[in-house]
């Protein structure tokens, strides 16, 4: 799958987020990178920033939070699992929702319980 196709899957996953949630997202940008940091080669996605639940009056003039979805490990994982394009679509959607949930202050334990681990 080309990078452009993968980026389109991420855009489509973002489009499926309910509008009532996307309206609440604040100061966050979404990126696609080919590979994660070397110290975590299996990482599918990463949220970097200050969750909405932790922002206070001090939160002004800061760079946007960053959500990154990693193409390489996602494709490799889906290939290992014998999956096709549909498995990649599903995994991208899970990853996007997972990272957006971090923006809303939801931790990994709760996400795993909800099936977005």
The span from the CA of 1 to the CA of 11, in Å, is 15
pLDDT tens digits for 8-51? 999 999 999 999 988 999 899 999 999 999 999 999 999 999 99
Q: Of 98, 90, 100, which Cα lies nearest the Cα of 114?
A: 98
In the chain the domains, ranked by start, together with CATH numbers, are 3-49+64-114 (3.30.2010.20)
| pLDDT at residue number 100 | 95
pLDDT tens digits for 62-77? 899 999 999 999 999 9
Its pTM stands at: 0.90
| pLDDT at residue number 69 | 98
pLDDT tens digits for 88-110? 999 999 999 999 999 999 988 98
Kind of pairing between the strands at 45-48 and 65-70: antiparallel
Give the pLDDT band of residue 116 (cuts 50, 70, 90). Answer: confident
Give the pLDDT band of residue 81 (cuts 50, 70, 90). Answer: confident
Helices assigned H by DSSP within the chain: 3-15, 19-22, 71-80, 85-103, 108-113
**For residue 82, pLDDT beyond 90:** no
| pLDDT at residue number 32 | 98
| pLDDT at residue number 66 | 97
């Amino acid at each position: 799958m080309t990078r452009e196709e993968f980026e389109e899957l991420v855009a489509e996953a973002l489009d499926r987020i309910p509008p009532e949630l996307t309206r609440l997202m604040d100061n966050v940008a979404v990126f696609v990178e080919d590979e994660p940091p070397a110290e975590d080669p299996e990482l599918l996605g990463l949220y970097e920033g200050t969750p909405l639940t932790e922002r206070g009056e001090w939160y002004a003039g800061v760079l946007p939070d960053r959500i990154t979805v990693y193409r390489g490990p996602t494709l490799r994982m889906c290939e290992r699992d014998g999956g096709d394009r549909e498995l990649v679509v599903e995994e991208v959607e899970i990853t996007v929702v997972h990272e957006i949930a971090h923006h809303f202050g939801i931790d990994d334990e709760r996400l795993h319980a909800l099936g977005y681990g």
